[in-house]
């Protein structure tokens, strides 16, 4: 699957940016967010070099934060629109994109956004039961199975900030693939 990816043809767009100072499920849309190298989204509850997700903090608060920024493709919202109305930021993502199938990117892909920000993709978001507290049945809608019965997680990807920068709606996203062999995204 990854071998057919041609990075020169992968260009997407940021359609929304969001953050929440509190550990809330949804995040509020902003005019701009600032990505800070090694820490994440300035002002967001998950900002820091060590893990901030509460379940992960309970396990080991000193583990590195591989979930500094969360991205979801708007195409997911379109896919589930017949059953759910979900707007950018409502599923907890910091950056909502269009034009790139984020779920097919390999681990360690770099996303160059706007004028200077660079994100390194670390893995898939593992959706939890909180998603059903937001909209009953949504968890099932963002999980699927492939033809071999393997679980497919569609609730976005996570990454770390390699280079600081501001990100705003309308910014271009360019994809820089890692060296082959590509590593399939796993939950992080």
| CATH number of the structural domain spanning residue 162 | 2.40.33.20
Across the range 57-86, mean pLDDT stands at 94
Mean pLDDT of the chain: 93
Residue 119 pLDDT more than 60? yes
In a domain, 76, yes or no: yes
| Residue in 171, 46, 28, 149 with CA at minimum distance from that of residue 97 | 171
Residue 8 pLDDT more than 90? no
Q: Could you read off the pLDDT of 132-141 as tens digits, one per residue?
A: 999 999 999 9
**pTM for this model (two decimals):** 0.94
Residue 37 pLDDT more than 90? yes
For residue 150, the enclosing domain spans 2-176
In a domain, 184, yes or no: no
In a domain, 182, yes or no: no
Domain count across the chain = 1
Helix (H) or strand (E) holding 40: strand 40-41
pLDDT classification of 5: cutoffs 50, 70, 90? low
Helix (H) or strand (E) holding 132: helix 130-134
Residue 1 pLDDT more than 60? no
Token pair belonging to 2: 């990854």
């Amino acid at each position: 699957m990854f071998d057919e990816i041609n990075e020169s043809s992968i260009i997407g767009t940021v359609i929304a940016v969001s953050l929440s100072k509190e550990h809330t499920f949804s995040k509020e849309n902003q005019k701009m967010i600032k990505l800070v190298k090694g820490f994440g989204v300035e002002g967001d509850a998950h900002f820091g070099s060590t893990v901030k997700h509460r379940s992960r903090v309970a396990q080991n608060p000193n583990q590195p934060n591989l979930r500094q920024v969360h991205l979801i493709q708007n195409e997911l919202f379109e896919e589930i629109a017949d059953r759910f109305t979900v707007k950018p930021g409502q599923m907890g993502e910091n950056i909502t994109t269009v034009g790139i199938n984020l779920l097919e990117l390999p681990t360690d892909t770099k996303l160059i956004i706007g004028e200077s920000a660079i994100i390194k993709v670390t893995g898939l978001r593992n959706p939890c039961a909180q998603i059903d507290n937001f909209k009953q049945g949504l968890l099932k809608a963002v999980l699927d199975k492939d033809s071999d019965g393997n679980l497919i997680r569609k609730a976005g990807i996570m990454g770390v900030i390699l280079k600081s920068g501001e990100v705003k709606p309308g910014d271009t996203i360019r994809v820089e693939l890692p060296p082959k062999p590509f590593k399939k995204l796993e939950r992080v």
